[in-house]
Chain A
């Protein structure tokens, strides 16, 4: 039963992923339209090194992890 539920959820997630990926293929932003997308204010992590140092501080105070970088290197757990 559990395996069946898990398989259904996996299949549903896969189907959603495929549909969204296909939709992404239909949407292209031409190179001459990409000036704003390349602007620093449109970067998800802003300054990646600053974001990494802040993330290091936050993760040392929280029980969770992930969603940004997996470059490794420990511990500095203060």
Chain B
């Protein structure tokens, strides 16, 4: 979870290597060994579920189009009623182009310092979890390993859940820890932050003998409490509190910000610590005459970088046929800027609080709003007395499409409004129950 993730600027010059690195080979072995261990369990299991899906993200813009495919496959087996084991793989396949140096309207060098660059990256994630259930209590532990050219991540997560009052109340506590490493340029010791240059590409990252690359750790602790409550046979609510602490290189090493009117730029510079918290409240209500449900949610967020945000979501889902249901989604999001964020550091008084110790031109840290509209259809088929095609106890297929619209109030590219403010998300899924 690198917190400054705008690859349209920052992940810019990554280029995937053609040779599999040592960490990549290790990851491949991990996936193969996990699959080999899970397969015999799946063969003997009472129930097994194979889920495969792909999400497609496309953000068109002149000079900075971004396309990301995210395929994934997960196998879940239940050898006994009390035990559930899951193993899976996911990837991010990225291609496109992005800008590199952020300038503002006051910079005399203007948009010329924004250079487009091709982006290609391939992230692999292996993940697994084990859940044990006894009576009204479920304990779950899991982890993941992810590898990409310039970022490595290991994570552990655990949760405990219990049901109360005839299952009408459900409480869950969850914790996750990330041990991540991000590639950076090998800056000379004691180099002032204003003189640090951004990473230009991922060549040499995580090579033990590299003299031009360094590695920086990021540690993340996340904690979550969830209370779900059924109030009536058709009404349920949920309250979620999430807290997260991050420490390490929280800026994006590829990203640079223009600091002087003459065009001098430096690698963006964020605080090394960030504490974040969010509270979400959701409700779902079933409308019998419509054979469907409406779901509404609101989330409030704040962090120690002084970002406040609010999210409003509304969904309606109904059965068109007993085997087909259709869902419509609407989402509105609005946030304030980080305390140190500016659209232009090259002159004038700051419009939004103090700056100077840190600098960032990330659009994710700027004030903006966005809204999303989407549709999703899901078909479900269950086997009767005979299995479907003699194999499956159940099948499920889904297709969905979302459109995202961004509205940036302060963020510009050298004084010009950004063009990549519309994005499309598509998804396909197929799940088989054996």
A binding-site residues for B, Cβ under 8 Å = 24-25, 27-31, 33-37, 39-44, 46-47, 49-50, 53-54, 56-78
CB-CB under 8 A from A69, the residues of chain B are: 174, 224
Please encode chain B, from 65 to 83, with 1 for each CB lying within 8 Å of some chain A CB and 0 for all others.
0101010101000000000
The stretch among B32-40, B161-169, B205-213 that forms the contact with chain A is: B161-169
The answer to whether residues A75 and B236 also contact, given A30-B166, A46-B317 and a CB cut-off of 8 A, is: no
**Cα-based distance from A71 to B240 in the complex (angstroms):** 14
The answer to whether residues A34 and B233 also contact, given A64-B278, A73-B127 and a CB cut-off of 8 A, is: yes
**Are B233's CB and A50's CB within 8 A?**
no
**Cα-based distance from A62 to B363 in the complex (angstroms):** 8
| A/B interface sample: 30 pairs, CB < 8 A | A24-B168, A27-B168, A37-B233, A47-B378, A47-B429, A49-B74, A53-B55, A53-B72, A57-B425, A58-B333, A58-B372, A61-B363, A61-B406, A63-B307, A63-B309, A64-B278, A64-B307, A65-B242, A66-B278, A67-B278, A67-B280, A68-B242, A70-B176, A73-B1, A74-B178, A74-B218, A75-B148, A77-B5, A78-B5, A78-B119
**Cα-based distance from A60 to B59 in the complex (angstroms):** 13
**Cα-based distance from A47 to B57 in the complex (angstroms):** 18
Please encode chain B, from 116 to 153, with 1 for each CB lying within 8 Å of some chain A CB and 0 for all others.
00010101010100000000000000101010100101
**Cα-based distance from A39 to B293 in the complex (angstroms):** 10
Please encode chain B, from 376 to 390, with 1 for each CB lying within 8 Å of some chain A CB and 0 for all others.
101010000000000
**Are B276's CB and A66's CB within 8 A?**
yes
Decide if the interface of chain B is mainly helix, strand, loop or mixed: strand
CB-CB under 8 A from A40, the residues of chain B are: 325, 378, 380
CB-CB under 8 A from B230, the residues of chain A are: 27, 29, 34, 37
**Are B232's CB and A29's CB within 8 A?**
yes
The answer to whether residues A70 and B224 also contact, given A37-B233, A37-B236, A49-B51 and a CB cut-off of 8 A, is: yes
CB-CB under 8 A from B407, the residues of chain A are: none
Closest to B95 in A: A78
**Are A36's CB and B286's CB within 8 A?**
yes
B277 interface residue per 8 A CB criterion: yes
CB-CB under 8 A from A29, the residues of chain B are: 166-168, 230-233
**Cα-based distance from A39 to B309 in the complex (angstroms):** 32
**Are A66's CB and B244's CB within 8 A?**
yes
Distance between A47 CB and nearest chain B CB, rounded to angstroms: 7
B200 interface residue per 8 A CB criterion: no
Among B156, B242, B338, B427, the residue within 8 A (CB) of A72 is: B156
Distance between B341 CB and nearest chain A CB, rounded to angstroms: 9
Interface residue tally on B, bucketed by range = 35 or more
The answer to whether residues A66 and B146 also contact, given A44-B295, A57-B55, A61-B364 and a CB cut-off of 8 A, is: no
CB-CB under 8 A from B373, the residues of chain A are: none
**Are B7's CB and A78's CB within 8 A?**
yes
B215 interface residue per 8 A CB criterion: no
CB-CB under 8 A from A30, the residues of chain B are: 166
- Residue with the greatest number of chain A CB neighbours at <10 A, chosen from B223, B236, B280: B236
CB-CB under 8 A from A61, the residues of chain B are: 6, 363-364, 370, 404, 406, 423
**Cα-based distance from A40 to B338 in the complex (angstroms):** 38
Distance between A33 CB and nearest chain B CB, rounded to angstroms: 4
**Cα-based distance from A70 to B223 in the complex (angstroms):** 7
Closest to A43 in B: B284
The answer to whether residues A74 and B180 also contact, given A64-B276, A67-B240 and a CB cut-off of 8 A, is: yes
CB-CB under 8 A from B125, the residues of chain A are: 73, 76
Among A28, A31, A62, the residue within 8 A (CB) of B309 is: A62
Please encode chain B, from 230 to 248, with 1 for each CB lying within 8 Å of some chain A CB and 0 for all others.
1111101010101110000
Closest A-B pairs by Cβ, 4 of them? A77-B5, A66-B242, A66-B278, A67-B280
B263 interface residue per 8 A CB criterion: no
**Are B66's CB and A78's CB within 8 A?**
yes
CB-CB under 8 A from B317, the residues of chain A are: 41, 46
Distance between A48 CB and nearest chain B CB, rounded to angstroms: 10
Closest to B156 in A: A72
CB-CB under 8 A from B51, the residues of chain A are: 49
**Are A63's CB and B364's CB within 8 A?**
yes
Closest to A31 in B: B166
Closest to B4 in A: A77
**Are A73's CB and B146's CB within 8 A?**
yes
CB-CB under 8 A from B286, the residues of chain A are: 36, 39, 41-42
Distance between B101 CB and nearest chain A CB, rounded to angstroms: 18
**Are B224's CB and A66's CB within 8 A?**
yes
The answer to whether residues A72 and B177 also contact, given A29-B166, A33-B233 and a CB cut-off of 8 A, is: yes
